[in-house]
């Protein structure tokens, strides 16, 4: 996981809770922090103001997040997918392709992967 993603998520949660960011840990459950699903969505919406990642954050992916670490992993994947997408778009004749069905359905899953492939089939790297 990216230290940028971790620091950003921890800071946004701390700001929302009005506590010091050093009191937020990846293992903290949202329930323990008294964050309900609406609180988490509001935190993600603030996140989008800092970094666009791969377009809008897929809010449906939050259904699977239970801890701060889960949210950090989703944000990390969202940001990395956005960086890969921008690189692929910059290379003429390449597009981003989901390497498994979870990614193909648009569900963010840290175990899913994407690759940059030349339109027509040959791989351009991951």
Q: Where are the domains of the chain?
A: 3-118
Question: Domain 3-118 is of which CATH architecture?
Answer: Orthogonal Bundle (1.10)
Burial 112-122 (b: 16+ CB within 10 A, else e): bbbbbbeeeee
* Per-residue pLDDT tens over the stretch 16-56: 999 999 999 999 999 999 999 999 999 999 988 876 665 77
Which pLDDT score, from 0 to 100, does residue 107 have? 45
- Give the model's confidence band at 8: pLDDT under 50 very low, under 70 low, under 90 confident, else very high: very high
* Per-residue pLDDT tens over the stretch 49-100: 876 665 778 888 899 899 999 999 999 888 887 766 666 666 656 555 555 5
């Amino acid at each position: 996981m990216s230290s940028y993603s971790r620091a950003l998520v921890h800071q946004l949660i701390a700001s929302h809770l009005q506590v010091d960011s050093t009191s937020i840990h990846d293992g903290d459950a949202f329930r323990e922090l008294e964050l309900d699903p609406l609180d988490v969505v509001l935190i993600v919406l603030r996140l989008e103001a800092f970094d666009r990642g791969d377009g809008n954050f897929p809010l449906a992916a939050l259904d699977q997040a239970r801890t701060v670490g889960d949210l950090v992993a989703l944000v990390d994947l969202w940001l990395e997918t956005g960086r890969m997408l921008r690189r692929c778009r910059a290379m003429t004749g390449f597009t981003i392709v989901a390497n498994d069905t979870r990614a193909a359905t648009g569900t963010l899953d840290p175990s899913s992967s994407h690759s940059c492939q030349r339109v027509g089939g040959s791989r351009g790297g991951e």
